[in-house]
């Protein structure tokens, strides 16, 4: 069972990571950018002449590794799901450089015996040379096997509601059949995204796309629509994962204007499946 005190007091060593222009291009290719190789709006992410990093790449840098598998945490890591993902961007990510990720646990919510628990984490990503804050990543994990752990049984923050009307903007993005095999080269080696046998044991008909790849594809839609093609305008992107995507499927990203913010939902129309929900977007 999850050791609440041990996890809340977990000490993370700052993670310094160097990444290259090749890494930035590979990340973008993993999101499907470059499927139209003569489009100059795509080439800037996948071609070295004038290269820029796609902003959601910040979520894959400074990772502390699979620390929840450490027996001292008591976490039933096999039954852990990625529940929510957020990113607040403070400065554009350079196309190459060195960054430092500072990770911490920000909270645990016990949903009760048999109902699981929620684990909230935060990561500050800073430029290793200057110390400038580049981004803050927030993550909520659903620990299905750790309900009744004794953490405070407080209410989970209520997610932003999706308006009950037609979306103001829609962007459809087709994923490629080999998308997961490319995206995993950015650091997520979980075999459920590559090995059909492992995917079958996990209950899937075939390997699934990484949740953070679906997240990055939602970022593509936001940049292309709300941001008018300017990635520097993206300030915040927060989503709740609700279902997996299979590589090769088309994702329909729906956006609603909500005052100073936007709401986001993503679905796979072919299966009528909502894959991202209760999204919140802030742009400059």
In this structure, what token pair is assigned to residue 190? 């979980």
Any idea what DSSP says for residue 113?
A: T
pLDDT digit string, tens, across residues 51-89: 999 999 999 999 999 999 999 999 998 888 899 999 999
In this prediction, residue 157 carries a pLDDT of 78
The SS3 of residue 233 is helix
Closest CA to 247 of 173, 175, 188: 175
Q: What is the dihedral of CA 224, 125, 243, 175, to 10 degrees?
A: 40
In this prediction, residue 156 carries a pLDDT of 77
pLDDT digit string, tens, across residues 203-260: 899 999 999 999 999 999 999 999 999 999 999 999 999 999 999 999 999 999 999 9
Contact partners, residue 115, CB within 8 Å, separation at least 6: 147
In this structure, what token pair is assigned to residue 58? 């910040």
The three-state DSSP-derived secondary structure of 158-214 is CCCCCCCCCCCEEEEEECCCCHHHHHHHHCCCCHHHCCHHHHHHCCCCCCCCCHHHH
Q: Sort strands 261-268 and 117-127 into parallel, antiparallel or unpaired.
A: unpaired
Class of residue 49 by CB neighbours under 10 A (exposed 0-12, middle 13-18, buried 19+): exposed
How many alpha carbons lie under 13 Å from residue 140 in its C-beta half-sphere? 19
pLDDT digit string, tens, across residues 33-52: 999 889 999 999 999 999 99
Q: Known catalytic residues?
A: 188, 193, 208, 211
In this prediction, residue 152 carries a pLDDT of 81
In this prediction, residue 231 carries a pLDDT of 97
Closest CA to 143 of 283, 3, 284: 3
* Extents of the domains making up the chain: 4-143, 169-283
The CATH number given to 4-143 is 3.10.129.10
Same fold: 4-143 with 169-283 = yes
In this prediction, residue 5 carries a pLDDT of 96
pLDDT digit string, tens, across residues 154-206: 777 788 999 999 999 999 999 999 999 999 999 999 899 999 999 998 889 99
In this prediction, residue 220 carries a pLDDT of 98
In this structure, what token pair is assigned to residue 223? 């940049």
Give the residues across from 110 on adjacent strands. Answer: 117
pTM of the predicted model, to two decimals? 0.96
**Count of CB atoms situated within 10 Å of the CB of 11:** 6
In this prediction, residue 241 carries a pLDDT of 97
Q: Are 236 and 53 in contact (CB under 8 A)?
A: no
In CATH, 169-283 is 1.10.10.10: no
CA distances from 76 to 2, 144, 147, 183, 200 (A): 7, 8, 10, 26, 20
Class of residue 216 by CB neighbours under 10 A (exposed 0-12, middle 13-18, buried 19+): buried
């Amino acid at each position: 069972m999850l050791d609440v005190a041990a996890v809340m007091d977990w000490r993370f060593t700052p993670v310094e990571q160097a990444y290259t222009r090749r890494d930035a291009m590979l990340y973008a290719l993993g999101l499907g950018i470059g499927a139209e190789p003569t489009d100059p709006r795509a080439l800037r992410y996948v071609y070295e002449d004038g290269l820029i990093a796609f902003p959601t790449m910040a979520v894959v840098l400074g990772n502390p590794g699979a620390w929840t598998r450490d027996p001292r945490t008591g976490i039933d890591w096999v039954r852990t799901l990625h529940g929510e993902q957020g990113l607040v961007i403070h400065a554009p990510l350079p196309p190459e450089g060195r960054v430092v990720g500072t990770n911490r646990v920000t909270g645990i919510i016990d949903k009760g015996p048999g109902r699981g628990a929620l684990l909230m984490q935060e990561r500050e990503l800073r430029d290793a040379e200057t110390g400038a804050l580049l981004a803050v990543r927030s993550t909520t994990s659903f620990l299905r096997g750790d309900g009744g752990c004794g953490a405070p049984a407080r209410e989970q923050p209520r997610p932003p509601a999706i308006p009950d009307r037609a979306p103001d903007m829609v962007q459809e993005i087709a994923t490629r059949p080999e998308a997961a095999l490319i995206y995993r080269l950015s650091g997520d080696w979980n075999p459920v995204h590559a090995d059909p046998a492992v995917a079958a044991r996990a209950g899937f008909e075939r390997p699934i796309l990484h949740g953070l790849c679906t997240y990055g594809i939602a970022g593509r839609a936001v940049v292309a629509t709300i941001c008018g093609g300017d990635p520097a305008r993206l300030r915040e992107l927060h989503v709740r994962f609700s279902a997996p995507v299979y590589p090769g499927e088309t994702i329909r990203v729906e956006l609603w204007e909500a005052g100073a913010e936007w709401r986001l939902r993503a679905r796979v129309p072919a299966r009528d499946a909502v894959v991202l929900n209760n999204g919140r977007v802030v742009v400059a």
